[in-house]
Structures are given as structure tokens and as C-alpha cells.
Amino acid sequence: DIQMTQSPSSLSASVGDRVTITCRASQSISDYVNWYQQRVGQAPQLIIHSASNLLSGVPSRFSGSGSGTDFTLTVNGLQPEDFATYYCQQTYSTPRTFGQGTKVEIK
């Protein structure tokens, strides 16, 4: 099984900050990585697919990059609605594993 290791597990940031979350795959997975945002009490929502493709309707302050084993989710100019938990996921193979999540909290 492919393991997805996210870091950090949590972070504190202020509105307007730039935030970076990383995800490392246990083997090369090309760009088969997706990112989800989960606000408290809500279902996860897809924000980026295929490593760098922003879903329609998602603010452009979100961006994704990476290929192979190392991937990054960046939020440029954190907004109040961005405080949530973020998960990476690989769909290179089954099982479709998720990272353990990164909780973005208000400083």
C-alpha cells in the first residue's frame, strides 16, 4: 500500500498569512494526488485534483504543486473560511490512501 505522510499535523496562522502543507508518498505516484478541505462538522470537499488542478469555484489563493513523491498545498493570504483540516490523497493505486490531515488553526 502507498503511504501518504502529511506535515505538519497542525499549524497556527493568522489571516493573510501564507501557509504551506506538504505530503510525501511512500513511492512515486506521478501527479495522482488530490487535496481536500474539511471544515468542522462538514463533509470533505475537493479543492485540487491531479496535484495542481484547482477545482472550479475554489479561490485562486489555493494552489498545488509536485510530482513523484513530494507534493505541496499552498494558501496565499489565508482567509477566515480557510481554517479547516486539509487532507492529501493518492489515487495512483488501490487502496486510495489519505494523509493523516493538517489542521489549520487561528493564531
Partner 1 sequence: QVHLVQSGSELKKPGASVKISCKTSGYTFTNYAVNWVRQAPGQGLEWMGWINTNTGNPTYAQAFRGRFVFSMDTAVSTAYLQISGLKAEDTAIFYCAREGYSRGRYYFDQWGQGTLVTVSS
Cell of 93: 493505486
Q: Which CB, 79 or 93, lies closer to partner 1? A: 93
Residue 24 within binding range of partner 1, rule CB under 8 A: no
Instruction: Please tell me whether residue 80 adopts helix, strand or coil conformation.
Output: helix
* C-alpha to C-alpha distance for 58 and 47, rounded to whole angstroms: 6
Task: Indicate whether 34 belongs to the interface with partner 1 (CB under 8 A).
Answer: yes
Q: Which of 2, 21, 36, 82 binds partner 1 (CB under 8 A)?
A: 36
Position 87, amino acid: Y
Q: Give the integer Cα–Cα distance in Å for 105 and 18.
A: 13
Instruction: List the one residue from 65, 69, 74, 100 that touches partner 1 (CB under 8 A).
Output: 100
Stretch touching partner 1 by CB under 8 A, among 10-18, 63-71, 75-83, 94-102: 94-102
Q: In what order do the strands lie in the sheet with 53-54?
A: 10-13, 102-106, 85-90, 33-38, 45-49, 53-54
- Considering only 26, 39, 55, 68, the residue that binds partner 1 (CB under 8 A) is 55
Applying CB under 8 A, the residues found at the interface with partner 1 are 31-32, 34, 36, 38, 43-46, 49-50, 53, 55, 87, 89, 91, 94-101
